[in-house]
A and B are shown apart, each in its own frame.
Chain A
Amino acid sequence: MKKNDLISITDYSKEDYLHILELAADFEKNPNQRLLEGKVVASLFFEPSTRTRLSFETAINRLGGRIIGFSDAGSSSVSKGETLHDTIRMVSNYVDLIVMRHHLEGSARYAAEVADVPVINAGDGANQHPTQTLLDMYSILKTQGTLDNINIFMIGDLKYGRTVHSLLMALSEFEKPIFNFIAPEELAMPEEYKLFLKEKGIRFFEHTEINENINHADIIYMTRVQKERFMDPIEYEKVKNVYILRNNMLNDTKPNMRILHPLPRINEIHPDVDKNEKAYYFTQAKNGVYTRQAIIAHILNLK
């Protein structure tokens, strides 16, 4: 039987997305379902990521599964020079599912080829982080009641931000989304994604500043502008404070509008926004647990 990995968001169809989101809603209603009873899951974090790891491990625990693994490569045999191939071959003998994060791009696809058991990519460098995309979609569905006709503003680092690229691809599968991109020139949405939207006949607009345009938004998706992305530190200094969302900017936004952020944030969302009911990023993180329960159930055909 072909195993069902989740490596890249484009591995899945719209039907897969919808099935997972439906399961996520079910897990939110009833989080403790012991579907993984008697199963062992490997949580292999070759690169540390507290948020994603805890979210996955909570999901596995709520499903009644047991976890083996490591939270950084320093405490694994990788520090002795073992190849990814050998680590995966070995672990794949022990467990029913592998969740992995690795700093090298393509590592998860390769691990899925090597392993006999399904692999879930919990982030492979700057490449893919598909479970984030699914939890973003779940958050949009939950707050908007639909994934069709969503007017989404993506703000910040749109060049290197893998979460915005994956979300763009996934939302494009639904009816008539409208994309608005707000980014400094150096971090603008890459041409290949704009071309992809053009070919699909999907509308998008580009802006260079946060202004009253955001009053049309259903979703504002904020990302972090990362200093290390800039060749010239002066360029970073110029833009670092341009893309900060403040509470007083939200006065005339739509009542249904919600603000998402993959977290961690630095200064791009001012703390005064946190009190606003439109701030959704912490609930979004909570949704991550239900979504990951759903992904595991989908992959292992448990539901």
Chain B
Amino acid sequence: MSDSLKKKLKLKVSAINDGTVIDHIPSENLFKVISILGLEKVKSQITFGFNFESEKMGSKAIIKVSDVFFEDDEINKISLIARNAKLNIIRDYEVVEKRVVEVPDKVIGIVKCFNPKCITNNEEITTYFNVISKNPLDLKCKYCEKITHEHQMVIK
């Protein structure tokens, strides 16, 4: 990223004292990420922005959450829709740790089974998939045993 772009970004999104910055979210998935992480219920200050220019992604979104630090299990849920998301852990305005998200071995909830005849699409049941391939993503439903491929994936 060029220096001028960095400067512009800095101006657009205010810095946080302590907390987590989630960067490189595809703009179109920003609200899904907010929903998956349950950020609408968080009481601390949150700023987010989207449609920022990104050399790698074309357009990206950023979320800054004050005073919240995510567990791996929690943050890895967003890997399904924000494959290249990066986390900056901020303490006292400084980045103290950088993390990337990883596709988990199991995906619970979040994704709909692609099979219309699956019981999970016909009754109130939390979906449950075993990840059988991470790239491209293949999810095997614990219930109907069918595989939902990446291009068939719909977020609940």
Residue A83, interface by CB 8 Å = yes
A104 and B118 in contact (CB under 8 A), knowing A83-B123, A84-B123, A85-B123?
A: yes
Residues of chain B within 8 A of A125, CB atoms compared:
117, 144
Residues of chain B within 8 A of A84, CB atoms compared:
119, 123
A104 and B145 in contact (CB under 8 A), knowing A83-B123, A110-B125?
A: no
Q: Shortest Cβ distance from A85 into chain B, in angstroms?
A: 6
Q: Shortest Cβ distance from A137 into chain B, in angstroms?
A: 20
In the bound complex, how far is the Cα of B113 from the Cα of A103, in angstroms? 17
A128 and B123 in contact (CB under 8 A), knowing A104-B117, A105-B117?
A: no
In the bound complex, how far is the Cα of B122 from the Cα of A84, in angstroms? 10
Residue A8, interface by CB 8 Å = yes
Residues of chain B within 8 A of A83, CB atoms compared:
123-124
Q: CB distance B123 to A105 under 8 Å?
A: no
Residue A126, interface by CB 8 Å = yes
Total number of B residues with any Cβ neighbor in A under 8 Å: 17
Residue B146, interface by CB 8 Å = yes
Q: CB distance A109 to B117 under 8 Å?
A: no
Residues of chain B within 8 A of A127, CB atoms compared:
144-146
The residue in chain A whose Cβ has the minimal distance to the Cβ of B121 is: A104
- State which residues 115-131 of B face A: CB under 8 Å: 115, 117-120, 122-125
Residue B70, interface by CB 8 Å = no
Q: CB distance B145 to A8 under 8 Å?
A: yes
- State which residues 97-127 of B face A: CB under 8 Å: 113, 115, 117-120, 122-125
Task: From A102, A103, A106, give the contact of B145 (CB < 8 A).
Answer: A106
Residues of chain A within 8 A of B119, CB atoms compared:
84, 102, 104-107, 109-110, 124
The residue in chain A whose Cβ has the minimal distance to the Cβ of B122 is: A104
Q: CB distance A105 to B142 under 8 Å?
A: no
Residues of chain A within 8 A of B145, CB atoms compared:
8, 105-106, 127-128
Contact with A along B125-147 (1 / 0, CB 8 A): 10000000000000001111111
Task: From A8, A85, A105, A192, give the contact of B118 (CB < 8 A).
Answer: A105
In the bound complex, how far is the Cα of B140 from the Cα of A105, in angstroms? 13
Residues of chain A within 8 A of B142, CB atoms compared:
106, 109
In the bound complex, how far is the Cα of B130 from the Cα of A109, in angstroms? 15
Residues of chain A within 8 A of B122, CB atoms compared:
104
A-B contact sample (14 more), CB < 8 A, given A84-B123, A105-B115, A105-B145: A8-B145, A85-B123, A102-B119, A105-B119, A105-B144, A106-B113, A106-B118, A106-B142, A107-B143, A109-B119, A109-B143, A110-B123, A124-B119, A128-B145
Q: Which 3 A-B pairs have the closest CB atoms?
A: A106-B143, A105-B144, A106-B144
The residues of B with any CB-CB pair to A shorter than 8 Å are 113, 115, 117-120, 122-125, 141-147
What are 12 A-to-B residue pairs whose CB atoms are below 8 Å?
A8-B145, A84-B123, A104-B118, A105-B115, A105-B145, A106-B145, A107-B119, A109-B119, A110-B125, A124-B144, A127-B144, A127-B145
